[in-house]
């Protein structure tokens, strides 16, 4: 009889892609395994998960709205409704284990799984655990983490250092530089910078690039600028035909492997998934942590790399003043770029998806 696993969470690509990677690893280990995803209605996992070939059920749940107290009045009712639906999903699917990767849906699903006596596994992606995962960790059977020192948040005996699952197709870049540059219409032999705000885009990074266009042109470098679909139309209207030929503006990167392969240096936010990919490709990186995340965990993620001299950190508040200058100065320093690339490469954990999948199967068999 095929094993049955529920994977819950989402909200951003940083949660969805690792979840899908774990599911793919489970399928490689047990081709007949039954997997059901549980997400939050209206969030991007409701589209991305089916596109990856998996079934998903949505809970009517969202996070606290820090800008509108009135919108939070319905949260207790949504939580109660989500807990009841989670119990029904777990019972009807006959789940043997529940996996939480973070995001709104993870909380009620794993809370109910714990109440029902099912084994649960948490995949904590960041160097600073969020409130929900810390609470869930008290009853979790296993906690897979990507950073050392996580026993300050979780019981040490439950922790396993696995790294974060990554999209393998995104980090297979060896020998692809020439075709990657050609795909973006860029020249060989010129230094290339990848600036990416993640799947949703980042206003700070977009503002920095917009203000620094003349500096990039003056330095005679090429830029792959992934701005996010939310900002793309406004930027295209602002620039119209004024975008320099050495700057490629894209809402979304369909081929992250090409983007990484073409880049000599990467500028990005400091989400856990992005950092794990940067470690895998071994590119020098300038990290600009988002200030709009719970517990400021992106800053802590970035500091974990800076502490090992494996990346450069520019704060969001200072980015508009010095990001472009920092990037161009670093790009011109080839020895520093080489050192950063070599150091970040040593932090890569390339088989995290299979290690976590094996832990999931152990919980079933136990």
Q: Determine the CATH number of domain 4-166+351-365.
A: 3.40.50.2000
**Binding residue per annotation — 228?**
no
Using the Cα atoms of residue 80, residue 81, residue 82 and residue 84 in order, give the sign of their dihedral.
positive
Query: Lowest-confidence range among 4-8, 42-46, 122-126, 279-283?
Result: 42-46
What are the boundaries of each domain within the chain?
Answer: 4-166+351-365, 169-345
For domain 169-345, the CATH superfamily is: Glycogen Phosphorylase B; (3.40.50.2000)
Q: What would the pLDDT profile of 127-163 be if each residue is shown by its tens digit?
A: 888 788 888 999 999 999 998 889 999 999 999 999 9
The pLDDT value given to residue 210: 94
* Tally of CB atoms within 10 A around 171: 21
Q: How confident is the model over 310-360, as pLDDT tens digits?
A: 999 999 999 999 999 999 999 999 999 999 999 999 999 889 999 999 999
Structure confidence by residue, pLDDT tens digits, 31-73: 999 999 998 888 888 899 999 999 999 888 866 555 656 566 6
Going by C-beta distance under 8 Å and a sequence separation of 6 or more, which residues neighbour residue 69? none
**Cα dihedral sign for 217, 219, 224, 226?**
negative
SS (H, E, C) 253-277: CCCHHHHHHHCCEEEECCCHHHHHH
Distance CA(146)–CA(353), nearest Å, equals 12
Question: Is 199 assigned a ligand-binding role in the annotation?
Answer: yes
135 is in an annotated binding site: no
On the question of a common fold for 4-166+351-365 and 169-345, the answer reads yes
189 carries a ligand binding annotation: no
H-run or E-run covering 23: helix 13-29
CA distance 202 to 210: 12
User: Quick one: pLDDT at residue 13?
Assistant: 66
Contact 44, 17 (CB under 8 A): no
**pLDDT value of position 365:** 81
- pLDDT over 90 for what percent of the chain? 70
pLDDT at 68: 59
39 known member of a binding site:
no
Q: Tens of pLDDT along 71-80?
A: 666 667 777 8
Q: Which of 34, 45, 126 is nearest to 361 (CA)?
A: 34
For the chain, the average pLDDT equals: 91
- Confidence band, pLDDT 50/70/90 cuts, at residue 243: confident
Quote the DSSP letter at residue 285: E
């Amino acid at each position: 009889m095929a094993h049955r696993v529920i994977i819950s969470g989402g909200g951003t690509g940083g949660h969805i892609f690792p979840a899908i990677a774990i599911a793919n690893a489970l399928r490689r280990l047990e081709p007949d395994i039954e997997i059901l995803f549980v997400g939050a209605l209206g969030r991007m996992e409701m589209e991305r998960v089916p596109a990856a070939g998996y079934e998903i059920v949505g809970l009517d749940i969202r996070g606290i709205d820090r800008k509108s107290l009135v919108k939070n009045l319905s949260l207790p009712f949504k939580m109660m409704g989500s807990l009841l639906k989670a119990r029904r999903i777990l019972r009807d699917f006959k789940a043997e284990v529940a996996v939480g990767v973070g995001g709104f849906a993870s909380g009620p699903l794993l809370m109910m799984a714990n109440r029902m006596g099912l084994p649960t596994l948490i995949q904590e992606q960041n160097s600073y655990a969020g409130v929900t995962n810390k609470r869930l960790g008290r009853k979790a059977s296993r906690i897979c983490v990507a950073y050392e020192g996580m026993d300050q948040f979780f019981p040490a005996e439950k922790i396993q250092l696995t790294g974060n699952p990554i999209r393998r197709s995104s980090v297979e870049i060896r020998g692809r530089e020439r075709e990657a540059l050609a795909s973006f219409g860029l020249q060989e032999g010129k230094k290339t910078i990848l600036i990416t705000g993640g799947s949703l885009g980042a206003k700070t990074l977009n503002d920095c690039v917009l203000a620094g266009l003349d500096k990039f042109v003056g330095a005679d470098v090429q830029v792959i600028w992934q701005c996010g679909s939310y900002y793309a139309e406004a930027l295209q209207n602002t620039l119209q035909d004024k975008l320099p030929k050495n700057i490629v503006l894209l809402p979304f990167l369909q081929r992250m492997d090409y983007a990484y392969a073409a880049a000599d240096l990467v500028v990005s936010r400091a989400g856990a998934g992005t950092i794990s990919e940067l470690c895998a490709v071994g590119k020098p990186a300038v990290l600009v942590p988002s200030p709009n995340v719970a517990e400021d965990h992106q800053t802590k993620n970035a500091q974990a790399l800076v502490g090992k001299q494996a990346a450069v950190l520019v704060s969001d508040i200072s980015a508009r003043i010095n990001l472009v200058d920092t990037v161009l100065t670093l790009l011109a320093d080839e020895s520093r770029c080489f050192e950063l690339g070599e150091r970040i490469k040593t932090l890569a954990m390339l088989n995290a998806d299979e290690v976590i999948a094996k832990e999931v199967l152990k919980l079933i068999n136990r």
